[in-house]
């Protein structure tokens, strides 16, 4: 794809800009679809119908919502720190979007094939943390600040089990390059890292339970990192109004919203790359290559997003002490044990 674009435009800089904009073309329609699916699914889970009036079964509702947000007045609280207040949503969005640089959507489209892809993913997401703190503090609102504090404390503590879980797979694969990780699992479903990759048979069977453990650790902690419902203490409506984005309205609120959904796909995509074969087809050579790669990547990612939505509307919110208990006394020890055992199995 880059060569083909270079032939058209001649200059590499233009190609880089175009390549950088491609994930945005995915995120915008994806967010519209997922917002609709989430609302509709949650309504049916709660025995109601949800959107019905705009378009067939409310399919035009997300568009209506977008237009509503675009038209809204952009309010900045009088006592807020105006510069930081305006900057915060963009910092959050940049932190989310920068991570898309290393997502291999297909063998033909990889933004950056850097050697340290997984490490980079973990590092740039810290920009989101800074953005949330900035939003909470600059709003000059106690609820916002408390929400931001909770959110950051939560993300920082759940980063540890998430990183440890990813480390287990990195040990198995021997690389942090996201493109390589995907390509290593191209043999079909049985070669996915969650099923032990391409190890010899007996090693595979001993490693599978531990791969499942670290996958569950990753799933739970990634859910906490995007502040979604079992872990939505940062925006607990009954306690904190809306959390760090209470004071935001119009476009700035929309950007927070978009960043949240972008992050949701991001964590699912990382799980797909690391555990479920990335862009490769689950049937080996069958239906693989070209557009099929992109199809498989997005399908797998969307399935995990669906699981996230399903869990969100099933479980109630945790208490703060339970939140810390889950992170430090359950997930972290399990991930550590998983890593040690995987290391032993690999060395033996």
Partner 1 sequence: MFLQLFDIIFYFFATVTLISAGIVVFSKNIVRSAFSLVFTFFGIAGLYVLLNADFVAVAQLFVYVGGILVLLLFAVMLTQKISNLQMKITTLHPIIAIILVASLIGVLCGIVRMNDWRIITISEIPQSTAQSIGKALITTHILPFEIISVILLVAIIGAAMLARKSEKKS
Contact residues toward partner 1 (CB under 8 A) are 11, 13, 81, 83-84, 91, 114-116, 119-120, 122-127, 129-130, 133-134, 137, 145, 149, 152, 156, 159, 176
Decide if 197 contacts 209 (C-beta within 8 A).
no
| Cβ-based neighbour number of residue 172 at 10 Å | 24
Decide if 216 contacts 311 (C-beta within 8 A).
no
Q: Please, which residues bridge with residue 104 across strands?
A: 110
Dist. CA 217–CA 303, nearest whole Å: 18
Dist. CA 65–CA 307, nearest whole Å: 24
Decide if 79 contacts 140 (C-beta within 8 A).
yes
- SS3 per-residue string spanning 168-230: HHHHHHCCCCHHHHHHCCCCCHHHCHHHCCCCCHHHHHHHHHHHHHHHHHHHHHHHHHCCCHH
Give residue for tokens 């239906």.
Answer: 287
Give the DSSP per-residue string, 243-254.
GGGTT--HHHHH
Distance of CA 23 to the CA centre of its chain: 13
Least separation in angstroms between residue 88's CB and partner 1 is 9
Per DSSP, 228 falls in state -
Nearer to partner 1, 130 or 251 (CB): 130
Dist. CA 8–CA 45, nearest whole Å: 50
Decide if 88 contacts 135 (C-beta within 8 A).
yes
Q: What are phi and psi of 135, to 5 degrees?
A: -60, -45
Q: Look at residue 23 and give its three-state secondary structure.
A: helix
Among candidate residues 186, 210, 216, the one with its CA nearest the CA of residue 196: 210
Give residue for tokens 């399919």.
Answer: 59
Decide if 185 contacts 280 (C-beta within 8 A).
yes
Burial, 67: exposed, middle or buried (Cβ in 10 Å; 0-12, 13-18, 19+)?
A: exposed
């Amino acid at each position: 794809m880059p060569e083909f674009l270079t032939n058209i435009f001649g200059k590499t800089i233009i190609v880089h800009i175009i390549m950088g904009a491609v994930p945005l073309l995915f995120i915008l329609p994806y967010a519209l679809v997922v917002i609709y699916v989430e609302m509709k699914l949650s309504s049916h889970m709660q025995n109601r119908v949800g959107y019905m009036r705009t378009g067939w079964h409310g399919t035009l509702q997300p568009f209506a919502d977008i237009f509503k947000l675009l038209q809204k007045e952009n309010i900045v609280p009088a006592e807020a720190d105006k510069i930081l207040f305006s900057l915060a949503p963009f910092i959050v969005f940049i932190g989310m979007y920068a991570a898309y640089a290393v997502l291999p959507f297909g063998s033909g489209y990889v933004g950056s094939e850097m050697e340290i892809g997984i490490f980079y993913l973990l590092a740039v997401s810290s920009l989101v943390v800074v953005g949330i703190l900035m939003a909470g503090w600059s709003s000059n609102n106690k609820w916002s600040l408390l929400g931001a504090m909770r959110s950051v404390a939560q993300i920082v503590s759940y980063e540890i089990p998430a990183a440890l879980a990813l480390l287990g797979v990195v040990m198995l694969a021997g690389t942090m390059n996201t493109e390589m990780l995907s390509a290593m699992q191209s043999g079909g479903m049985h070669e996915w890292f969650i099923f032990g990759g391409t190890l010899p048979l007996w090693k595979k069977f001993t490693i599978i339970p531990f791969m499942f453990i670290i996958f569950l650790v990753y799933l739970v902690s990634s859910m906490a990192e995007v502040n979604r419902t079992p872990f939505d203490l940062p925006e607990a409506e009954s306690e904190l109004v809306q959390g760090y984005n209470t004071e935001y309205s119009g476009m700035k609120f929309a950007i927070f919203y978009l960043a949240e959904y972008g992050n949701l796909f991001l964590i699912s995509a990382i799980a797909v790359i690391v555990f479920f074969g990335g862009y490769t087809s689950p049937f080996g050579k069958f239906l693989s290559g070209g557009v099929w790669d992109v199809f498989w990547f997005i399908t797998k990612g969307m399935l995990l997003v669906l699981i996230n939505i399903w869990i969100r509307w099933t479980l109630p919110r945790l208490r703060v002490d339970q939140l810390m208990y889950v992170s430090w006394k359950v997930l972290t020890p399990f991930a550590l044990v998983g890593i040690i055992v995987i290391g032993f199995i690999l060395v033996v």
